[in-house]
Chains A and B, each alone.
Chain A
Amino acid sequence: MTATLHIPKLPAGASRESGHSHLILSPAGAIERPATNATAAETRDLAYALIRVLDPDGKAKGPWDPGLDADALRRGLKTMQKTRAYDNRMMRMQRQGQTSFYMQCTGEEAIACAFQTALWKGDMNFPTYRQQGLLIAQDWPLVDMMCQVLSNEKDRMKGRQLPVFYSAPEAGFFSISGNLGTQYIQAVGWAMASAIRGDERVAAAWIGDGATAESDFHASLVFAAVYRPPVVLNIVNNQWAISTPQTVAGGEYATFAARAHGYGIPSLRVDGNDYLAVRSAADWAVGRARAGLGPSLIEWLTYRVAPHSTSDDPSKYRPKDDPAAWPLGDPIDRLKTHLISGGEWSEERHLQMTSEIEEEVTAAAQEARSYGTLHEGPKASPATMFDDVYKDMPRHLVEQRQQLGY
């Protein structure tokens, strides 16, 4: 026998043609909800199951039903729809050359939109570039987000950052880096600071399946396990890291949720396309953090329907019908079906809401464009690139700014 190198190209048990038969799924309502103060060991089975609330008919089932009232559900539906409309518009504006780059979260809207509703003011998300729903769920002004994407004169980041790398401390939205995984350990540190100060504030760390391979991810789990700070460790498993399936990130023989158990951290594996399941799992984990019970990890199972970014073409590496074959459906459709089946929504109201959202997004886009785009109109002066490198500008930067002519 000689050794052979295993190269996991495909999800285990699946082929690119056969869809997603390899996934560990559970029926809606089938999974017990552990007590808030459960130990890691008591959540062990949950790492190999899937918490789901909405069944295929849109009925809410089981102990994870968060019991949200109809207004909260309609609000969730609107937030997700608005996130998708925003994404579509920004994608189009990028294609029209108004900015260089964009990243959609199509199919993943429920995770950020529902999770945010479990947080309090003063909590802090450490997001990746695909959690725009965290801002939209708080009614953060679309114009402000668009101006960042367009790098125009109203871009609060002064044109320094790639589009979608927002920052909004008032909304508990930490500045996005772009170097993958770095924010995860920072969230743990931020939560440690909250604990050191004896505060109630909770941190939410975000990472994708691909970036869990980064050393910062593992450092985060060690530090979170050691100091038990109030942090929720979110892994958005959307199956793809650009062209690389989650199997190459180590998801072939173990779930991402299972990793927490090596560190003694309670974890959940949750249907990320189920708004109710997301909110309920978020409540559980945030509740643990708020109660001083320490960290939790949640793997959100979802699917990246859109390309990785405007620079990506998924037809080169996955079948065209792969998104449609995704067994967890579309988060907006599923919540809509749930509301309609309960008599709290209708196709007519949905159409009306969609068209109102389109109007809102159009108006916002018009306003944002009036402040300029990447290539047209005013933008932050080149002199400003010397600002904020340090709190006070040192002599050598003053000199260099003068050399540039300012």
Chain B
Amino acid sequence: MIEAIRDAMAVMMERDDRVVVFGQDVGFFGGVFRCTEGLQKRFGETRCFDTPISETGIVGIAVGMAAYGLRPVSEIQFADYMYPAYDQIVSEAARLRFRSAGDFSAPLVVRMPCGGGIFGAQTHSQSPEALFTHVCGLKTIVPSNPNDAKGLLIAAIEDDDPVIFLEPKRLYNGPFDGHPDRPVVPWSKHDLGEVPDGYYAVPIGKAAIRRAGSAVTVLAYGTMVHVAEAAAGETGVDAEIIDLRTLVPLDIETIVTSVEKTGRCVVVHEATRTSGFGAELAAEVQERCFYHLETPVRRVTGWDTPYPHAQEWDYFPSPQRVGQALLQAMDPLL
């Protein structure tokens, strides 16, 4: 998935000389996860460069550059580090078009690795997507595979609004089904690891059905798509797994169509539970599909605790926990 993300930036830098890429360790070194490796050498150091360690500075200059007419793609080294930039994201990038009635806009992308599963503890494991989905004016994307990651990042760079692009870091080197004791599977062994060359865009705001099913709808994104697939396989529940891909704007049609068919819904995310994006999803499903629901909408999430180090696999929503929710969705008395 690293190569796919890098390729998306390279394709766009080649096509559009307004695209610039920057962040901490992004230039010469190519990023701590190697997502920008080779870009500085290929496109020059004014198109891809290192920045000082200041997240508010990184996003702040991106807003200024975007207002100038460039297409900045900035990297926050870990999503856990984005808080100093939050004012620039929320009060500036997200609202510039509105507050200036279209005089100015901020077509920028903020990439950030998110999520756990790599023993990153509480400062390298967070999933702060709900802090962005709550902000009007932002689009928030969480890809679950290399094919989508490239096409969605290209779409994000082309988008005229600010886009938060969250990259589940546990997926960088392969799909992860939530079983840490099993050997790592490389993306080359996965259908969606196949990434076409050159330019293609995956539309923002369109979900994908990863597994068709009739018994229960699972709403997931990022790493949890793969965990949900494992849970369906292990429980034998005929789940329809929807990979949201974009959280805002949300593809509500795909969700409603599926829940009206299955009459059951489980929402899965790695982020903490209270006020998580799952609450929004559960509320939407309840409002729109109430008379189709056979059982309550259930959430499987990270616990409402900081992300622990040694207890990582007790925190991470496991296939067992997701599977249990699938079974309970089928039979609430379980």
Give the B-binding residues of A (Cβ under 8 A). Answer: 126, 156-158, 160-161, 165, 167-169, 174-175, 177, 179, 182, 184-197, 203, 215-216, 219-220, 222-223, 226, 388-391, 394-396
A190 near B68: Cβ-Cβ < 8 Å = yes
- Is B181 part of the binding interface, using a Cβ–Cβ cutoff of 8 Å? no
29 CB contacts below 8 A, A to B, read A157-B101, A160-B98, A160-B101, A167-B99, A167-B103, A175-B100, A179-B87, A179-B91, A182-B91, A185-B60, A186-B61, A186-B64, A188-B64, A189-B61, A189-B64, A189-B65, A190-B68, A193-B65, A193-B70, A195-B46, A196-B20, A196-B47, A196-B65, A220-B60, A222-B57, A223-B57, A388-B101, A388-B102, A391-B97
Partner of A389, one of B60, B67, B92, B137: B137
Residues 245-264 of chain B, each 1 if its beta carbon lies under 8 Å from chain A, else 0? 00011101000000000000
Residues in A whose Cβ lies below 8 Å from that of B92: 177, 179, 182, 186
**Is B56 part of the binding interface, using a Cβ–Cβ cutoff of 8 Å?**
yes
Q: How far is the CB of A124 from the nearest CB of chain B, in Å?
A: 8
When distances are taken between beta carbons in the complex, the residues of chain B under 8 Å from A197 are 68, 70
In the complex with contacts A156-B101, A168-B103, A192-B65 CB distance below 8 A: yes
| Contact A157 B61, beta carbon cutoff 8 Å | no
Q: Measured between alpha carbons, how far is A396 from B141 in the docked complex, in Å?
A: 16
Q: Which 10 A-B pairs have the closest CB atoms?
A: A189-B64, A189-B61, A185-B60, A193-B68, A219-B57, A175-B100, A186-B64, A190-B64, A394-B249, A167-B100
CA of A200 to CA of B56 in the docked complex: distance in angstroms? Answer: 26
B286 within 8 A of A: no
Q: Which residues of B contact A203 (CB under 8 A)?
A: 64
A189–B62 CB distance below 8 A: yes
The complex places the Cα of A193 from the Cα of B47 at a distance, in Å, of: 10
Residue numbers in A under 8 Å from B102 (CB-CB): 388
Shortest CB-to-CB span from A219 to chain B, Å, is 4
Task: Give the nearest-CB partner of B63 in chain A.
Answer: A186
Chain B residue numbers with a CB within 8 Å of A395 are 249, 252
B235 on interface, CB distance cutoff 8 Å: no
The one of B100, B104, B205 in contact with A394, judged by C-beta atoms closer than 8 angstroms, is: B205
**A157 vs B111: C-alpha distance when bound (angstroms):** 31
Q: Mark B83-118, 1 if CB is under 8 A from A, else 0.
A: 010011001100011111111110000000000000
Most buried by B among A195, A197, A223, A390: A390
Q: Are B68 and A396 within 8 A (Cβ)?
A: no
Chain B positions 32 through 56: 1 when the CB is less than 8 Å from some CB of chain A, otherwise 0: 0000000000000011000110101
Residue of A161, A189, A194 with highest tally of chain B CB at under 10 A:
A189
Q: Assess whether B136 is interfacial by the CB under 8 Å rule.
A: yes
Report how far A168 CA is from B205 CA in the complex, Å: 32
Contact indicator A158/B67 (Cβ below 8 Å) = no
Residues of B within 8 A of A188 (CB): 60-61, 64
Please, how many angstroms separate the alpha-carbon atoms of A17 and B71 in the complex? Answer: 54
Query: With A and B bound together, what is the CA distance between A196 and B160 in angstroms?
Result: 20
B69 adjacent to chain A (CB < 8 Å): yes
Is B161 an interface residue when CB atoms closer than 8 A count as contact? Answer: yes
What residues on B are CB-neighbors of A226 within 8 Å?
52
A222-B54, A388-B102 given; name 8 further pairs at CB < 8 Å: A156-B101, A167-B103, A186-B61, A188-B61, A189-B64, A196-B65, A215-B56, A394-B249
Q: Do residues A160 and B99 form an inter-chain contact, with CB atoms below 8 A?
A: yes
The CA-CA distance from A167 to B95 in the complex, in Å, is: 13
State the CA gap A215–B57 with chains docked (Å).
9
Question: Are B252's CB and A391's CB within 8 A?
Answer: no
Q: Is the interface of B mostly helix, strand, loop or mixed?
A: mixed
Overall SS of chain A's interface:
helix
Chain A residues in 8 Å Cβ range of B68: 189-190, 193-194, 197
Set of chain B residues within 8 Å of A388, measured between Cβ atoms: 97-98, 101-102
> Which residues of chain B (303-324) have a CB below 8 Å from chain A?
none
Interface set, chain B 197-245, CB cutoff 8 A to A: 205
B contact residues around A189 at 8 Å (CB): 60-65, 67-68, 72
Interface positions of B from 144 to 161, Cβ below 8 Å from A:
160-161
* Interface-central residue, A179, A186, A190, by most chain B CB under 10 Å: A186
Please name all residues of chain A whose beta carbon is closer than 8 Å to the beta carbon of B160 when the two chains form the complex: 391
Chain B min CB distance to A135 (Å)? 13
With A160-B98, A196-B20, A391-B105 as known contacts, state yes or no: A219 contacts B60, CB within 8 Å: yes
A195 to B20, CA, bound (A): 12
Q: CA–CA, A396 to B69, complex, Å?
A: 28
| Contact, CB under 8 Å: A185 / B64 | yes
A391 to B162, CA, bound (A): 10
- Considering the complex, give the chain A residue whose CB is closest to the CB of B251: A395
Task: Quote the shortest CB–CB distance from B295 to chain A (angstroms).
Answer: 26
Asked, given contacts A189-B64, A395-B249, whether A389 binds B57 with beta carbons under 8 Å apart, the answer is no
Across-interface contacts of B101 in A (CB, < 8 A): 156-158, 160, 167, 388
Asked if A389 contacts B136 (CB within 8 A), the reply is yes
Cβ–Cβ < 8 Å partners of A390 in chain B: 97, 137, 139, 161
Min Cβ gap A72→B in Å is 30
A326-B57 Cα distance, complex, nearest whole Å = 36
With known contacts A191-B64, A390-B161, A169–B57 Cβ distance under 8 A: no
- CB closest chain-A residue, reference B104: A175
Q: How far is the CB of A66 from chain B (nearest CB, A)?
A: 29
- Considering the chains assembled together, what is the distance between the CA atoms of A185 and B88 in angstroms? 10
CA distance A188 to B62 in the complex (A): 10
Minimum Cβ distance to chain B for residue A2 (Å) = 34
Is there contact, CB below 8 Å, between A216 and B56? yes
Contact B60 A216 (CB under 8 A): yes
In the complex the two chains form, what is the Cα distance from A168 to B100 in whole Å? 9
| Chain B residue with the shortest CB-CB distance to A184 | B60
By the criterion CB–CB under 8 Å, are B97 and A185 in contact?
Answer: no
| A389 to B248 alpha-carbon distance, docked (Å) | 13
Cβ A389 vs Cβ B98 within 8 A: yes
B70 near A196: Cβ-Cβ < 8 Å:
yes
In the complex, A158 Cα to B161 Cα: how many Å? 20
Choose among B64, B136, B248 the residue with the greatest number of A CB atoms under 10 Å from its CB: B64
Assuming the A-B contacts A167-B101, A177-B99, A391-B161, are A192 and B91 also in contact, with contact meaning beta carbons closer than 8 angstroms in the complex? no
Return A402 CB to nearest CB of chain B, in Å.
Answer: 14
Chain A residue numbers with a CB within 8 Å of B248 are 394
Instruction: State A389–B135 Cα separation when bound (angstroms).
Output: 10
List residues of chain A with CB within 8 A of the CB of B56. 185, 215-216, 219
With contacts A186-B67, A215-B56, A216-B56 known, is A161 near B99, CB below 8 A? yes
Contact A169 B103 (CB under 8 A): yes
- Whether B104 lies near A174 (C-beta < 8 A) is yes
Q: Which residues of A contact B62 (CB under 8 A)?
A: 189
Contacts of B67 in A (CB 8 A): 174, 186, 189-190
Question: A168 contacts which chain B residues (CB < 8 A)?
Answer: 103
